[in-house]
């Protein structure tokens, strides 16, 4: 009979994956997987907030000096980064809480703002070429459909690149004290 006090605690999916596929450093893979989960939550918050605001309080208008889309997207981005910071500080990197909160949150926001710039650059570079590919594959698609598919394809590429940027830069700078 196994003594329950000495039996290992059951592991969650992320911990099992990190032990199985983590190579020489399963803890770092576990952190990456947690960071990715947090990023998915952030993307849902970002897109959800933006779309809810545009459907209710900030209806799109061509007459506005500052577009409601930009205001809604800025609010969505800020809420998502705030959520991501909290989740990463308390779940992904709980041992980073010895660092000063203000310094850490400023570092995290700086990294994410640069990530946003990278996202805009990738979108600018990929939307038109993706649109050309979509148009050649689906010749009967409307220009609106082509634009939506191309934009979503570019956003997916940007999400992957920016997630990697955010993880590695935050790991080396914002959470550099974590062993």
Same domain? For 144 and 163 the reply is yes
Query: Which of 38, 59, 92 is at the close of a domain?
Result: 92
Contact 14, 154 (CB under 8 A): no
Q: Given this model, what pLDDT does residue 16 score?
A: 67
Kindly indicate the confidence band of residue 110, based on its pLDDT and cuts at 50, 70 and 90: very high
Q: Given this model, what pLDDT does residue 26 score?
A: 82
Query: Which of 92, 109, 142 is at the close of a domain?
Result: 92
Contact 77, 48 (CB under 8 A): no
Same domain? For 77 and 138 the reply is no
Same domain? For 88 and 102 the reply is no
- Counted domains in the chain: 2
10 Å CB burial of residue 124 (0-12, 13-18, 19+) is exposed
Its domain, for residue 29, covers: 13-92
Q: Given this model, what pLDDT does residue 51 score?
A: 84
Under the phi-then-psi rule, with left for phi > 0, alpha for psi from -120 to 50, and beta for the rest, what region is 141? beta
Query: Between the CA of residue 17 and those of 13, 21, 23, 26, 164, what are the distances in Å?
Result: 6, 6, 11, 8, 19
Same domain? For 81 and 105 the reply is no
Taking residues 25-51, what's their average pLDDT? 91
Same domain? For 72 and 108 the reply is no
Query: Between the CA of residue 21 and those of 10, 16, 100, 164, what are the distances in Å?
Result: 18, 9, 33, 18
Query: Given a cut of 80, is residue 6 above it in pLDDT?
Result: no
- 57-61, 112-116, 117-121, 169-173: least confident range: 57-61
Q: Model confidence over 83-98: pLDDT tens digits?
A: 999 999 999 999 998 8
Query: Given a cut of 70, is residue 66 above it in pLDDT?
Result: no
Q: How far apart are CA 152 and CA 57, in angstroms?
A: 25
CA angle 21, 41, 175 (to 5 degrees): 65
Same domain? For 103 and 179 the reply is yes
CA-closest candidate to residue 137, choices 152, 149, 155: 149
Mean pLDDT computed over every residue of the chain: 86
Same domain? For 66 and 132 the reply is no
Same domain? For 145 and 119 the reply is yes
Query: Given a cut of 80, is residue 42 above it in pLDDT?
Result: yes
Q: Given this model, what pLDDT does residue 111 score?
A: 97
Contact 42, 83 (CB under 8 A): yes
Same domain? For 25 and 82 the reply is yes
Q: Model confidence over 111-164: pLDDT tens digits?
A: 999 999 998 899 889 989 999 999 999 999 998 888 889 888 988 899 899 999
Residue 140 lies in a domain: yes
């Amino acid at each position: 009979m196994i003594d329950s006090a000495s039996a290992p605690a059951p592991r969650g999916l992320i911990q099992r994956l990190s032990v199985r596929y983590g190579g020489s450093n399963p803890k770092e893979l576990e952190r990456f997987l947690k960071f990715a989960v947090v990023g998915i939550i952030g993307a849902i918050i970002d897109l959800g907030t933006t779309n809810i605001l545009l459907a209710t309080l900030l209806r799109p208008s061509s007459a506005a000096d500052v577009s409601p889309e930009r205001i809604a997207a800025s609010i969505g981005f800020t809420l998502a980064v705030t959520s991501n910071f909290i989740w990463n500080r308390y779940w992904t990197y709980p041992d980073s809480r010895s660092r000063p909160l203000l310094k850490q949150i400023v570092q995290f926001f700086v990294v994410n703002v640069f990530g946003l710039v990278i996202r805009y650059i990738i979108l600018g570079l990929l939307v038109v070429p993706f649109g050309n590919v979509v148009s050649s594959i689906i010749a009967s698609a409307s220009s609106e459909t082509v634009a939506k598919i191309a934009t979503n394809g570019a956003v997916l590429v940007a999400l992957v690149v920016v997630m990697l940027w955010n993880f590695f830069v935050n790991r080396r700078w914002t959470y550099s004290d974590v062993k």
